[in-house]
Amino acid sequence: MPRVRPVIVVANWKMNTTPREAGDLAGRIAAATNEPDVVRVICPPFVGLHAVRDALAGTDVQLGVQNVHWEQAGAYTGEISAAMVAGLAGWAIVGHSERRRDQHETDERIGQKMRRCHETGIRPIFCVGEKLDERESGRAEQVVRSQVEAAFEALGPVEWPAHDDDATGGWLVVAYEPVWAIGTGRTARGSDAAEMAELIRETAGNAMPREQAAALPVLYGGSVTSATIGEFLAEPALDGALVGGASLKVDEMAGIVARAAVGARARKSAGPVS
């Protein structure tokens, strides 16, 4: 059935904030971003989860984590599984480029993490994106297509949950994050990011029900601020943003979500996209 894709803003705090700071910041962001038309998710460090959950109680801002392990339990010192955070966090970033770079995460592991999320009812925010040399050599689309294909292959056959919730979208969200744009102050062109979003949906449609692939929310990530978000939300193919550095600033988050709310309302009045 045709649907309006939701507008989603995800805050990735990375390795910032003590638990006390996290609770305080989450409370202030929730108060400054009271826009029910925008799905808002905060992903603090694991140790801040309880403080942020308490700070978000009574608001409609949702809680996520920045990673999960590819197994649910076992001899993996220092790791945290989807099973451990299920019931606390509803979302998990998987495959962030900083983890691909620093923890050498492969597409296969990332697909396995998505499977663990599926088993525990957590919604993955699956990150893909090309490096600078890959874009400059004209291979950006090939790289992103292969990241999506390989992760879906490792995810394996899953029952795609009924996509009946227009307010928050289906089970999966993809974030297109060109690596050269993350934390650099450089952003992709809105039109380039939109083309990549369509390529992601088309590729996903080979591995999941086509109707749900057409409704797959695709976010842009990479140096998004309140000043740059507009270019991305002007693209009907893009459904919001994954925000790193700017998500630690209350004013920036207020500006980003306010702009996203304008886009969300325009989208609702324009009607279904698929």
Which of 82, 60, 87 lies closest to 71, judged by CA?
Answer: 82
169 contacts ligand PEP (rule: CB under 6 A): no
Between residues 190 and 212, which has the closer beta carbon with respect to ligand PEP? 190
Which one, of 205, 182, 270, lies nearest residue 233 by Cα? 270
Residue whose C-beta lies closest to ligand PEP: 244
Helices (H), the chain: 19-32, 49-56, 82-85, 97-102, 107-120, 132-136, 140-155, 190-204, 210-214, 229-233, 250-270
224 binding ligand PEP? (CB under 6 A): yes
If the CB atoms of residues 17 and 223 are measured against ligand PEP, the closer one turns out to be 223
Determine the distance from the C-alpha atom of residue 119 to the mean position of all C-alpha atoms in its chain, rounded to a whole number: 19
Q: If binding is defined by CB under 6 A, does position 66 make contact with ligand PEP?
A: no
- Comparing CB distances to ligand PEP, the nearer of 62 and 223 is 223
Residues 2-61 interacting with ligand PEP (rule: CB under 6 A): 12, 14
Task: Select 112 or 223, whichever has its Cβ closest to ligand PEP.
Answer: 223
Candidates 222, 240, 255, 263; binder of ligand PEP (CB under 6 A) is: 222
Evaluated on CA atoms 89, 166, 233, 190, the torsion sign reads positive
Nearer to ligand PEP, 48 or 222 (CB): 222
Please tell me whether residue 223 binds ligand PEP under the rule CB under 6 A: yes
* Torsion 127-131-136-139 (CA) sign: negative
129 binding ligand PEP? (CB under 6 A): no
238 is a site residue for ligand PEP (CB under 6 A): no
Nearest distance, CB of residue 243 and ligand PEP, angstroms: 5
CA atoms of 162 and 211, how far apart (whole Å): 11
Q: Give the span between the Cα atoms of 8 and 264, in whole angstroms.
A: 9
CA–CA separation, 119 vs 113, rounded Å? 10
**According to the binding rule CB under 6 A, does residue 105 interact with ligand PEP?**
no
Indicate which single residue of 48, 129, 170, 221 sits in contact with ligand PEP (rule: CB under 6 A): 221
DSSP bridge partners of 65: 92
Closer to ligand PEP by Cβ: residue 2 or 183: 183
Q: Applying CB under 6 A, which part among 45-53, 163-171, 203-211, 240-248 lies near ligand PEP?
A: 240-248
How far is CA 258 from each of CA 35, 113, 120, 134, 230, rounded to the nearest angstrom?
7, 32, 32, 34, 10
Task: With H, G, I as helix, E, B as strand and everything else as coil, classify residue 94.
Answer: strand
Please list the active-site residues: 96, 177
Q: Which stretch binds ligand PEP (CB under 6 A): 53-61, 145-153, 165-173, 222-230?
A: 222-230
- Give min distance, CB of 222 to ligand PEP, in A: 5
Which spans of this chain sit near ligand PEP (rule: CB under 6 A)? Answer: 12, 14, 177, 182-183, 221-224, 242-246
